Every structure is written in C-alpha cells, then in structure tokens.
C-alpha cells in the first residue's frame, strides 16, 4: 500500500482525467449524432461528422445543418459549439478538480511527507 510514490498517484489521476475527457467527447458526439440522425433523417455518418465538427468548432459541414432544422437539433449543435469553444478539457477540470483524492491516497501522501521530512532531517545532521 505504501510502496507507490506520489508520481505514480499523479500519473493515475492524469490518466483518469484524460479518460474522462475522451469518454465525454465520444458520448457527447454520439448523442448529438443520434439526435440529428433521428430528427433530421440524414445518414448517421453525416450526423456524426456534423456533431464532431460542432464540438471541435471546426466549421465544416456535411449539409445536415439548414434553416429548416428542428429546434432540438439546433440546441444540441449550439451546446456542442459552446462546449467546444470553452474547450471541453476546461469544462472537465471544473468538475474533476473539485473531487478529493480518496482517503487512503491522502493518508499515503501525508505519510510520504512526514517520512521525507524525517529523512531530510537525518541527512542534515
């Protein structure tokens, strides 16, 4: 339990955060694509292209968007564009950074800090 170092804990935390970003990106893209596919009656690939384009604020279009689009489709694309503009990573960090390290992890970090301070005191003598 105490054999891991803080770099390993940080690496695991960074991996979890990165995985959350990728999963959220894919989830949002597919949900929007399904909405466009269902409401606009376009091909799924065109709908997926449109949703990813909106989320990444690329600006490219496959012809799915038009003035006659359903309001729900427009709202989904608008939300994707706003999230893309804020950069989805920043939005993720708002939620992830508020979470605390689990109790065992924080106790481990305290243990390391105390152990390192004792070790430094012994080497100074």
- Cβ proximity of 9 and 101 under 8 Å: yes
pLDDT digits (tens, 9 = 90+) for 35-57: 999 998 989 999 999 999 988 88
pTM listed for this prediction:
0.64
Domains delineated in the chain? 6-99 (1.10.287)
Residue among 59, 50, 46, 42 nearest 77 (CA)? 50
pLDDT digits (tens, 9 = 90+) for 41-98: 989 999 999 999 988 888 888 888 888 888 998 999 888 888 888 776 666 666 766 6
Q: Please name the residues in contact with 57: beta carbons below 8 A apart, sequence gap of 6 or more.
A: 81, 84, 85
Residue 107 CA: distances (Å) to CA of 12, 98, 100, 114, 119: 17, 18, 12, 11, 18
């Amino acid at each position: 339990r105490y054999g891991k170092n803080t770099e390993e804990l940080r690496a695991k935390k960074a991996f979890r955060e990165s995985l959350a970003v990728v999963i959220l990106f894919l989830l949002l893209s597919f949900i929007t694509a399904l909405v466009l596919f269902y409401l606009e009656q376009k091909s799924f690939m065109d709908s997926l292209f449109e949703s990813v384009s909106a989320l990444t604020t690329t600006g490219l279009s496959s012809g799915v968007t038009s003035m006659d689009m359903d309001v729900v489709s427009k709202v989904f694309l608008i939300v994707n564009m706003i999230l893309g503009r804020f950069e989805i990573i920043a939005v993720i960090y708002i939620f992830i950074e508020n979470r605390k390290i689990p109790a065992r992890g924080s106790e481990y970090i305290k243990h390391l800090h105390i152990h390192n301070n004792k070790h430094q005191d012994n080497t100074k003598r």
